[in-house]
Amino acid sequence: MADWSRQPYIPMNRRNHLSSSSSTSTNFSTKSHSPKSSNPHSNTSNKTTATNTHSENDWNDDFPTLAGTCPFMCPVEERVRRERLRDLAVFERLHGNPAKTSPTLAVKKFCRTISTRDTQASDVRPISVLEETLNYLMSLLHSSERPFEVVHDFLFDRTRSIRQDLSMQNVTGDQAIHMYERMVKFHIISHHHLHRSCGAPNIASISHLNMEQLMKALTALFNLYEVNRASNSTYKNEAEFRSFYLLLLMGSNNQGESLSLWLKRVPSVIIKSKEICFARRILRYFRLGNYKRFIHTTEDEASFLQYCIIEPYINELKTNLFSLLCNDDAKVRMLALSYVSYGGYKLQPYPLVRLSKLLMMKESDIESLCVDCGFEISTDAGSEKGLVSTKQSAICYLQSYRSCYDSYKIFAHSGNLERNMKDEAAMAAPLVPSTNDRR
């Protein structure tokens, strides 16, 4: 799994933010995040240059800012070229013809590197066209005519192209924030669907790339929040989107800057929001192994998008607990060790040789099992190894086993957690800008 512990933004003022291309910080910034390795989702155009290139997350003041004039979802020149090369996705083909498309079907592809100086204004879409393009793409998200992997592959590439056009024009206003929020939602819902398609070929690499772009989109979104922030103001959806980052830390090795330092950069009103408080409790319960509260809190408080991030960890817990509680041999053996440890003579360890015969296991396996359960093994020189009688460790084990059983009962009796989640289709709907978006 990728390391999601990198920091999602570096607070800065608008002028410094927009000229951050020279930054050498190791934290997340708006500097180019072009992948070093080949991305199977990306479709590289012939229009590339060796220097002064833009990625989808790169804002730069050093070159003249473009003002896009392309009135279509795909520039005419690119559309004609791709028709000639028969380079059309299934959603772009007119009546299924791989060599024919139309302005209402073709969508501009992502170009890995592109120069602002060498790009014509007619090749870049203005903000109004980008919004219409994103509306069209999101309408395909729940298409049932194609496998989700095919839908995701198309939207993955074309949303990157939208981000690239936004950055090339230095669009940083409220419209850009709403578009980035919707693209983050797309990647989270994709994470949910791809996790459920774990048996499909190449799904692991696709999921990794999707998560990578999710973090990049969050990076840009958090920077936009900071760039546009007025005194003591926050955006309507900011708390929820920042909570996504905290929930993603469950799969992190937590290398780099600590969570406490990241939280210091977040406005206090966001820290106190119910979304952030929920995410912090979930993260704490998960790291402490308090799975009962982890599951109950998720069931009671998680939004649909939050659940999409948490679901893989719930399923992993369910599988592990089910294996533990349904393996009768392991259960009997562990309980037997607990009773021996609890009821044995304090000054005379119970020989592992005898335990091996009683439980019909190899002596080395008995020793490993004792260590895994937290029981003490005598290692005195000149004497055989034995299970030391310690009532406290036996009680701790029994409590731990009981906790596992209680957690598993939650799965057995609470039903599908998703029954309480919002309808998926609602998540694909546009985030409509309100007249008073800041609060």
| DSSP structure string for 21-79 | GG---SS--SS----SS--TT----S---SSSEE-TT---SSSPPP-----SSS-HHHH
CA 77: distance to chain centroid? 36
Choose among 114, 118, 122, 115: nearest CA to 72.
Answer: 122
Q: Are 187 and 213 in contact (CB under 8 A)?
A: yes
Tokens at 114, concatenated: 């592109």
Radius of gyration in angstroms for the set of CA atoms belonging to the chain, rounded to a whole number? 27
Helix, strand, coil fractions of the chain, as percent rounded to 5: 55, 5, 40
- Residues, the chain: 439
Q: For the chain (length 439 residues), average pLDDT per consecutive 10?
A: 41 39 36 38 38 46 72 96 96 94 96 76 95 96 89 96 93 94 96 80 89 94 90 86 92 65 88 94 87 86 93 75 52 59 60 75 75 70 71 49 52 46 45 47
Residue range(s) in the chain whose domain bears CATH number 1.10.10.10: 325-414
Give Cα separations from 244 to 73, 188, 211, 226 (angstroms): 30, 9, 12, 17
Strands 53-54 and 377-378, sheet pairing: unpaired
CA distance 398 to 199: 36
Q: What are the residues whose beta carbons fall under 8 Å from the beta carbon of 364, sequence distance 6 or more? A: none
Choose among 99, 82, 5: nearest CA to 47.
Answer: 82
Residue 435's identity, in one-letter code, is: T
CA 376: distance to chain centroid? 40
Choose among 87, 78, 70: nearest CA to 133.
Answer: 70
pLDDT of residue 394: 46
Q: Are 269 and 234 in contact (CB under 8 A)?
A: yes
Give Cα separations from 304 to 177, 192, 215 (angstroms): 21, 10, 19
CA distance 415 to 275: 24
Residue 80 phi, psi (nearest 5): -65, -45
Enter the DSSP assignment of 108.
P
CA distance 396 to 402: 10
Enter the DSSP assignment of 123.
G
> What fold is seen in the domain 325-414?
Arc Repressor Mutant, subunit A (1.10.10)
pLDDT of residue 202: 83
pLDDT of residue 418: 47
Tokens at 238, concatenated: 């900011």
Tokens at 182, concatenated: 């919707």
Strands 377-378 and 350-351, sheet pairing: unpaired
CA distance 88 to 26: 38
